[in-house]
Amino acid sequence: MAGPKIIVGVTGGIACYKAVSLVSALKQKNFEAQVVMTENATRLVAPVTFRAVSGQPVCAEQFASGGDPVPHIGLVERAALYVVAPATANTIAKLAGGLADNILTASFLAARCPKIIVPAMNTAMWENSLTQENISRLKKHGCLAVEPDAGYLACGVFGAGRYPATSKILQEIENALGKTRPLSGKKIVITGGGTREPLDPVRVITNVSSGKMGAALRDAAEKAGAEVVYIDAGAENARSLKKRIAAEFDGADALIMAAAVSDYKPASVRTDKIKSGADKLTIELARTEDLLKYFAGKKKKQYIVGFALESLNLLKNASAKLRSKNLDLVVANDISALNSDTAQITLLAKDGRAETFDRLSKPKAAEKIIERVCRDIG
C-alpha cells in the first residue's frame, strides 16, 4: 500500500537536479511522490527523469490538451504535504503574492495541506530584503521554510542559498507530517454498513444502514495518518465479519464498529429457495454473536469504539452499552441519523466524560470521533 501523497514542486533553479534524489528518497520511504514542474525546470531536467524516479507522470502543463481540464485541483485533493524544492526567488515571490500562473503556483494555492518551501538561489538574491519579506509572508500564512545551507554555489561564490541535504528536507517533511498526522503509525480497523444474513440462496435479512458513517470514519482516520483497514459489512454476515475483524485485530490499535450488525439471523439457512405457495411463512430467528462484546473481551492494547443507535433514552442506553460491552468510547447516535447525511452525536467515554455536538454532516461528525480517538491513543 502506498503511503501519504507528497507533491514535489520543482522550479527552474540550477539545484533542480538534486530534487531527483529527494523524490527517490520519498519513494524509498514508501511515500507516493507526485512531481509538478515549472516550464523553466523542464529545461534543466527532463520530466522523464522525474517520471522514472517517481513512477508517476509529471505535471508540467497547466492546460494540457485532453486529460483533466483543471489538473491543479485534482492534483492536490489527496495531498498530505506540498514541498517546493528547489524554490527559486521568482516562484517564492509568486507564491507569496498568491499568483496562480502555472501548474505549480496554481496547485500550491489550491492545496490545503501543510506546505514546505526549500529556497535555493544565489546569495545576493536570497539575502535581498524582497526575498526575505516574501519568505516571512509565506510563513505568516502557515508555510514552513527550510533555511538554505551556506557553501559553494553554482554561480562561483561561497555564501547562503545552497540547496540543503536531502536528509534535512526529509526530516522537515516527516516532522510536519507527524504534527498534522497524529495517528501515523497506528492501525485502525473500521467496519461500516449493514450485514446481510442469508435466509435462502436468494434472500437475506439486512437493515437500512447506508454505510456513510463508516466511510466517513475511514476517510477521517486516513487523513489523520492511520493505516486503516476498512471492512464493508454489506458483503458479510455476523460470522464472516467476525473472521475478517479477527484477521486484523491482534495488530490493531483501535477497532471502530460503525457497522450495523444484525442482532438476529435465520435459525437455519435453507439450501433451496423458499417457494411462495403458503399463505403464511414463519421464520425462526436466532441471536447473532455480539462482535463488539467479543472483541472488547479480547482486547490488549486496542481502543474499542461502539455505536449506539437508539430511538428511546439515548444516553441512558448508550452508557449501559458502554459498561456492559466494556468499551472505551460509545458514539450515541439519534435514530434520525439513519439514512441521513447528518448525525447528532454524543461521545460517552469510559471515565464518564460526555461530549455532545450539534447536528453535523457525517464527514464532520466522523472528524470529531477521530479527533477523540487521536486524543486518547495518538
Cis peptide bond prior to 69, omega within 30° of 0: no
Interface mask (CB under 6 A) for ligand CTP, residues 12-41, using x and -?
Answer: ------------------------------
Contact flag: residue 53 with ligand CTP (CB under 6 A): no
Span near ligand CTP by CB under 6 A; candidates 42-50, 81-89, 206-214, 301-309: 301-309
List beta partners, residue 84. 9, 117
Is 307 near ligand CTP (CB under 6 A)? yes
The answer to whether residue 257 forms part of the interface with ligand CTP (CB under 6 A) is yes
Least distance in angstroms from the C-beta of 327 to ligand CTP:
8
Check residue 321 for interaction with ligand CTP (CB under 6 A): yes
Is residue 288 at the binding interface for ligand CTP, with CB under 6 A as the rule?
yes
Asked if 306 is part of the footprint of ligand CTP (rule: CB under 6 A), the reply reads yes
Whole-angstrom distance, CA of residue 325 vs CA of residue 330? 10
- The DSSP call for residue 14 is G
With CB under 6 A as the rule, give the number of residues binding ligand CTP: 14
- Per rule CB under 6 A, is residue 347 in the interface with ligand CTP? no
Nearer to ligand CTP, 115 or 321 (CB): 321
Report the residue from 59, 113, 261, 366 that binds ligand CTP according to the rule CB under 6 A.
261
Distance CA 257, CA 302 (A): 13
Tell me the residue type at 141. Answer: H
- Residue 265 CB, shortest distance to ligand CTP, in Å, is 9
Least distance CB 238 / ligand CTP (angstroms): 5
CB of 326 to ligand CTP, least distance (A): 12
Please state, in angstroms and rounded to a whole number, the distance separating the CA atoms of residues 11 and 19: 10
What DSSP string runs through 79-147? EEEEEEEEE-HHHHHHHHTT---SHHHHHHHH--S-EEEEE---HHHHHSHHHHHHHHHHHHTT-EEPP
> Which CB atom, from 38 or from 191, has the smaller least distance to ligand CTP?
191
* C-alpha to C-alpha distances, 73 to 69, 94, 116, 275, 347, nearest whole angstrom: 10, 18, 19, 54, 35
Return the C-alpha cell found at 333: 447516535
**Nearest-angstrom CA–CA distance, 93 and 131:** 7
| Residue 266 burial (CB count, 10 A) | 17
Told to check if 252 binds ligand CTP by CB under 6 A, we report no
Judged by beta carbon, residue 101 or residue 263, the one nearer ligand CTP is 263
Q: Tell whether residue 329 is a contact of ligand CTP (CB under 6 A).
A: no
Residue selected from 309, 332, 337, 365 as contacting ligand CTP according to rule CB under 6 A: 309
Residue 215's contacts (CB-CB under 8 Å, 6 or more residues apart) are 192, 230
Query: Is 16 in the active site?
Result: no
| Distance of alpha carbon 309 from alpha carbon 321, whole angstroms | 11
Q: Which C-beta is closer to ligand CTP: that of 309 or that of 348?
A: 309
Binding residue (CB under 6 A) for ligand CTP from 103, 217, 292, 343: 292
| Ramachandran angles phi, psi of 84, nearest 5° | -105, 110
104 binds ligand CTP (CB under 6 A): no
Please report whether residue 218 would count as binding ligand CTP according to CB under 6 A. no
113, 143, 155, 374: which is the annotated catalytic residue?
155
Helix (H) or strand (E) holding 190: strand 187-192
Of 95-103, 213-221, 289-297, 344-352, the segment contacting ligand CTP by CB under 6 A is 289-297
Residue type, 254: A
Stretch that binds ligand CTP, among 58-66, 256-264, 340-348, 361-369 (CB under 6 A): 256-264
Q: Contact with ligand CTP (CB under 6 A): which of 68, 101, 127, 263?
A: 263
Closest C-alpha to 104, from 84, 81, 77: 84
Q: What residues act catalytically? A: 155
Q: Which residues bind ligand CTP (CB under 6 A)?
A: 238, 257, 259, 261, 263, 288, 290-292, 306-309, 321
